[in-house]
Copies of this chain bind each other. A is one copy, B any other.
């Protein structure tokens, strides 16, 4: 999993059936010290995240299980909203 910040959202009317009803958010990877990294991806929200929030993102095959099924074409899910981090370099 990685730590990211929600920086936007995507609207797609024509899409796979299994994406219907899901919120597609743009997440930018960040370091625990707050520094934003270049990596951006579209992740499906599962916890009610909004723009500006620090989130925990699961990618790949395991991301599907947040949605209660193994048969869904989702490869990235926001699985938590981060309250705090402790980190020493």
Binding site for B on A (CB under 8 A): 1-3, 7-16, 18-19, 24, 26, 31-32, 40-44, 46-48, 51, 56, 58-66, 70-77, 79-89
Q: How far is the CA of A75 from the CA of B66 in the complex (A)?
A: 12
Q: Are B41 and A2 in contact (CB under 8 A)?
A: yes
CB nearest to A43 among chain B residues = B1
Report 16 cross-chain contacts, Cβ distance below 8 Å, ordered by A residue. Answer: A1-B41, A2-B40, A8-B86, A8-B87, A10-B80, A11-B83, A12-B81, A12-B83, A16-B47, A16-B66, A18-B65, A19-B79, A19-B80, A60-B62, A62-B75, A73-B77
Tell me the bound Cα distance from A18 to B68 in angstroms.
11
